[in-house]
Amino acid sequence: MIFLKNDYSLGAHPQVFQALADQNLTPSDSYSNDTFCTETTQLVRQITGQPDADVHFIAGGTLTNLVCLAAFMRPYEAVIAAESSHIYTHETGAIEATGHKVLPVPTTDGKVSPEDVDKVVAFHDMEQMVLPRVVYISDTTEMGAVYTLDELKALRACCDRHGLYLYIDGARLAMALGSSYNDVTLKDMAALADAFYFGGTKCGALFGEMVVIVNDTLKPHFRAIMRQNGALFAKGMLLGIQFQALLKDDLYTKLGRQADAMGQKLAHGIGAKGYEFAYTPVSNMIFPVMTREKAAELAQNVMFEKWLDNADGTQTIRFVTSWATTEDDIDGLLALL
């Protein structure tokens, strides 16, 4: 079977796994108060250009979003997000379970625009309604789109007008940074977002995400919220070791670039065979449209996600390439098409 269902069903990149093995018997302090997490924090501050940023290590993406949004909002406040966003569609109401409403906006590619935010804020104009406080975006989006620098600057200006925080879900941040369509640097992102996170689970780590909080208002008592929600990991050094390895020699972006390169090779090959795409392919997630019969035939040899049954009888499917996807994987799929 050719595996193109997701980018998180392998273990860790060999360099990350080796780093864990090398430090396996090194005693460390608990709850991310260890040398590895401290060194990684200093490295993150350096590469983001934010010497005062707070850095926190959390085991998974859903837990990261839950903790961040619980910490950033008062009980009567809400978060604006794309209708396709992970917090609205794939986290089993985790945000709502903390008492915070998700205010969804329809989008074509998963990107939230300033106009979207303006509409939501204008609608919530009375004290009987929840008060929007956070704009949540994903880079890449769930459709594989990446934000441009101008788009992020426009969102930052919009958030400033309305007194909102901008929080970026970076579950696939490596792929956003590695995309040939990307013009945003880590320093740009850190300067424009109030908080964001480095995804590890989908970007070469065995598990784990790393939160960067830039806005001083959001920093106090964050670890207390982590602890209350079961996110303060006793063996935090395992997260620090992994991200230290990922950030060394820019491995993090290199892995994203590899995943994107395989995605673009796949997209080019699929397009050359006459298939259309539900969304413009710019990263490692590719959404071709084909007959249901052809999709069923492919499923005998390829693992992928069935995304959407279309009204015209066709089916949109999702292929996801990763840092471990090979040229042979892509060539094999294209041969089947």
Residue range 246-285, pLDDT digits in tens: 999 999 999 999 999 999 999 999 999 999 999 999 999 9
Task: Annotate 156-188 with DSSP letters as a single string.
Answer: HHHHHHHT-EEEEE-TTHHHHHH-TT----HHH
What's the pLDDT score for residue 179? 97
What's the pLDDT score for residue 77? 97
* Average confidence score pLDDT of the chain: 97
Q: Where are the domains of the chain?
A: 2-7+252-336, 14-251
Residue range 199-254, pLDDT digits in tens: 999 999 999 999 999 999 999 999 999 999 999 999 999 999 999 999 999 999 99
pLDDT band at 54 (very low <50, low <70, confident <90, very high): very high
What's the pLDDT score for residue 174? 98
What's the pLDDT score for residue 219? 98
Q: Which CATH architecture has domain 2-7+252-336?
A: Alpha-Beta Complex (3.90)
Q: Where are the beta strands (DSSP E) in the chain?
A: 2-3, 54-58, 77-82, 102-105, 131-138, 165-169, 195-199, 209-213, 276-277, 285-286, 288-291, 302-303, 305-309, 314-320
Cα Rg of the chain, angstroms:
20
Q: CA 116, 122, 127: angle at the middle one, nearest 5?
A: 130
pLDDT band at 1 (very low <50, low <70, confident <90, very high): very high
CATH number of the domain located at residue range(s) 14-251 in this protein: 3.40.640.10
